Amino acid sequence: MAVIWRGRRAGVDYEVRSAGRTRRLYTNGVLHTQYNPRQALTGSVWDLLLLPALLQPQRRFERVLVLGVGGGAVINLLRRHARFAAVTGVELDGLHLQLARRFFDLDTEGVELVQADARDWLLRYEGEAFDLIIDDLFMEVDREPARAVSATPAWLRLLDSHLTRRGLLVMNFPGRADLRQCGFTAAPRLRARYRSAFEFTHPRLENAVGAWLKFSASSRDLRRTLKTLPELDPARSRLEYRMSRLG
């Protein structure tokens, strides 16, 4: 694997590495993005972040919000497998956004990248609500991945306040226990605003992705959609996932 860009800012080491057409972004040795324009999937957690969007019957979203862009892996997956009028990506690390534009094809129409703290940005935001919000806010604590913003009831209410009436909320967690203990368990009235809720996992990953939908859906709906998409059909692709209903 070749290093095609290397830099150091404020004591943080950044690298962009390539292996054939695949490019990967590393920060202090931690993988933040993987992208290959010829491949439909990443084989990692970003595939799980994509799957809930396929539960929307038309796979069509007017406005999408991604919190925690990294190099933009999930945005590129959405560009390929769903349709949206506009996506806003909010990222604290400005260099990540520069690299996303330069090396990961995010300098494109319909994609707005914003350098900001996600919580502050949401508190100030007064624009139209989003049909899909993906919260992928992570940091390292003692060299272990952890959520950068705890999934408290207050945070979930803030996210919910920016969703449309038939919106979809997707959140990445370090593990299944973190997901199942998130703020929805302490806020049943907020949880009741969603018609369906699911957990997505990968057999070789620790992460668990939660999806809360303001419309009814089922695992059968996802399987039906995947069969119509040769690039994503598990019978014809390398997609691996497990999906279960959240109580």
Residue 247 has a pLDDT of 81
DSSP string, 90-114: EES-HHHHHHHHHHSS--STTEEEE
Question: CA 12, CA 246: separation in Å to the nearest integer?
Answer: 38
Is residue 70 situated within a structural domain?
Answer: yes
Tally of domains within the chain: 1
Summarised one tens digit per residue, pLDDT across range 17-59 is: 999 999 999 999 999 999 999 999 999 999 999 999 999 999 9
Say yes or no to pLDDT of 117 above 80: yes
Is residue 47 situated within a structural domain?
Answer: yes
Q: What is the CATH number of the domain that holds 134?
A: 3.40.50.150
Range of the structural domain that residue 65 is part of: 39-245
Rounded to a whole number of angstroms, the distance between the first and last alpha carbons of the chain is 43
Residues 6+ apart with CB under 8 A from 152: 183
Summarised one tens digit per residue, pLDDT across range 119-151 is: 999 999 999 999 999 999 999 887 788 999 999
> What does the mean pLDDT of the chain come to?
96
Question: CA 145, CA 132: separation in Å to the nearest integer?
Answer: 24
Is residue 177 situated within a structural domain?
Answer: yes
How is the chain split among helix, strand and coil, in percent rounded to 5?
25, 35, 35
Nearest of 94, 224, 245 to residue 180 by alpha carbon:
245
Residue 143 has a pLDDT of 72
Residue 142 has a pLDDT of 79
Is residue 5 situated within a structural domain?
Answer: no
